[in-house]
A and B are shown apart, each in its own frame.
Chain A
Amino acid sequence: EAGVAQSPRYKIIEKRQSVAFWCNPISGHATLYWYQQILGQGPKLLIQFQNNGVVDDSQLPKDRFSAERLKGVDSTLKIQPAKLEDSAVYLCASSLEPSGVSLDFGPGTRLTVL
């Protein structure tokens, strides 16, 4: 079974530029999560989708971050415009069940904002 796929793996941009990350969850997994992991910290949830609907986006900085999951499969996370403090690893995870007690994580996208 293929795992959670993410691209790109690395991205370097300058502040105020835009960037987008892509995630393809495990086939059949209805629940998808985006986490932000700043260096030296644990991952923090940004947004949770159930199929193509948002379950929780309370910690998503909506003035600059947006995410969508069209057709309930792939998802895209966008930052526009980026700030220096957005430098982090962005992890995508998916789960077969909505309870979130068993998550599969992707390899992450490491973003550096200069």
Chain B
Amino acid sequence: AQKVTQAQTEISVVEKEDVTLDCVYETRDTTYYLFWYKQPPSGELVFLIRRNSFDEQNEISGRYSWNFQKSTSSFNFTITASQVVDSAVYFCALSEGGGSARQLTFGSGTQLTVLP
């Protein structure tokens, strides 16, 4: 069975600080996908990144970066020079299974508050 753990329930930082959100996953599949979503107060889930299990290259997109390490089953997300607009709940998710039955399993989320 697949499982995603986000141990940090809430994080609070001051604007311009760097912050890392942790994600640990469990799966028996060798082929799977990992995701990060942002959920601002408006409630809509915003897709940030998708990574497949065969691509361990770290990725950077502007102030966002992701560190995927299969050896520790982790897919951590770092925001550099945080801004107030980054305040939201961030979810890590895992998708496994073949064919049409693939589905997303979400972690419980990390509430990030960036203070001015």
B95/A40 in contact, CB under 8 A: no
Task: Tally the A-B contacts, defined by beta carbons under 8 Å.
Answer: 60
Q: Which of A49-92 contact B (CB under 8 A)?
A: 50, 55-56, 89, 91
- Residues on B with C-beta less than 8 A from A50 are 100
Q: Report if A42-B101 is in contact (Cβ < 8 Å); known contacts: A102-B50, A106-B44, A108-B43.
A: no
B44/A42 in contact, CB under 8 A: no
- Residues on A with C-beta less than 8 A from B95 are 100-101
A89/B43 in contact, CB under 8 A: yes
What is the 8 Å Cβ interface bit string for chain B, positions 67-88, against chain A (1 contact, 0 not)?
0000000000000000000000
A53 to nearest B CB, angstroms?
A: 10
Q: Interface extent on A, as a size class?
A: 20 to 34
Interface residue? B64 (CB, 8 A): no
Interface residue? B63 (CB, 8 A): no
The interface size of chain B toward A, counting residues with CB under 8 Å, comes to 23
Q: Which of A19-47 contact B (CB under 8 A)?
A: 31, 33, 40-45
A99 to B103, CA, bound (A): 8
Interface residue? B66 (CB, 8 A): no
Q: Report if A55-B109 is in contact (Cβ < 8 Å); known contacts: A91-B45, A106-B44.
A: no
A101/B44 in contact, CB under 8 A: no
Interface residue? A103 (CB, 8 A): yes
A100 to nearest B CB, angstroms?
A: 4
Q: Which of B10-52 contact A (CB under 8 A)?
A: 33, 37, 42-45, 47, 50
Could you list 15 examples of A-B contacts with CB < 8 Å?
A: A42-B93, A42-B107, A43-B104, A44-B106, A56-B103, A91-B45, A93-B45, A98-B99, A98-B100, A100-B103, A102-B47, A107-B44, A108-B43, A108-B44, A110-B43
